[in-house]
Structure formats: structure tokens, C-alpha cells
Amino acid sequence: MAHTYASNFVHCIFSTKDRRTLIPAARAAELYAYLGGIARGVGFSLIAAGGTENHIHLLFVLPASISLACAVQKLKGSFSRWMGKGFSWQEGYGAFSVSPSQIEVIKGYIHNQQEHHRKRNFEQEFVTLLRNCGIVYDERYVFG
């Protein structure tokens, strides 16, 4: 796309189905490296990855040529196949735009997930992010 410029930094969050503890901490670095490879293969950059045994946070930058839905579908689908039988993600995800001036703050937040979740569980964190961003949601479906 000639003469098309975009700065689309996205903080994306999704959990395992029913928030089951399916992501082993011992494999976290390997899993995040794998996701970085998937992102590069699709054509975008993964800046940071972190999470706990039941959810993941990603910070990535999307070019104008790749939709958010496509990027997330590729990441979740590839990760699920890599993890093998019995692993699945929740149906949806949360995605929040990030100002370039806040990249380092969000990277720190993502890398500090283990400590952060000693005070607040995934459900509390996710609902707080939705509210802080002014996103209207239906409590019956928010954790699909």
C-alpha cells in the first residue's frame, strides 16, 4: 500500500476456555517466542507477551494491511495447535489501543503479570480494563 502509514499499537488479552490453568509457567518463554514467530510470519510485530497459567497479554503493532481480527485469529489458532489436544482459548478477546507514549508502561504491565495477579484475578482485571476504556459489555457474555 503506497502512501499508507499507520501506528496501531494494540494491547490484546484473552484467556483459556473457562479460565482453566492450561499454560505452564515453565514453558512461558518458549510459548511467547513461538507467538513472536507467528506474528512475524503473518507480517506484524509482537513487542511484549506475558500472562499467567490461564490468560495471556500481548502488545503488538499492526500494519495497515492486517486486521486485528486476522492477527488474533492467527495467534490463537496457531498457539492452540502447538499446545495440542485439550487446549483451547475463550471465544473472544479484549483489544485496547495504546498510545506510543505508553508503550513502556504497557510492556512493564505485561511483564509483571505474575505479581499483578497476586492482588487481582483475571476477571477483575479484564472488567476493569473494559470499564476504564469505556467499553460497554454484557456480563452474561464477557467471559465466553
User: Is the CA virtual torsion 16, 143, 52, 49 positive or negative?
Assistant: positive
Confidence (pTM): 0.91
Pairing mode, strands 45-52 and 8-15: unpaired
51: closest CA among 11, 85, 87, 83? 11
* The pLDDT value given to residue 116: 79
DSSP three-state, residue 67: coil
- Domain spanning 8-132: CATH 3.30.70.580: no
Residue-range domain boundaries for the chain: 8-132
pLDDT by residue for the chain (144 residues), tens only, comes to: 578 888 899 999 999 999 999 999 998 899 999 999 999 999 999 999 999 999 999 999 999 999 999 999 999 999 999 888 999 999 899 999 999 999 999 999 999 988 878 888 888 999 999 999 999 988 888 876
- Give the model's pLDDT for residue 144: 65
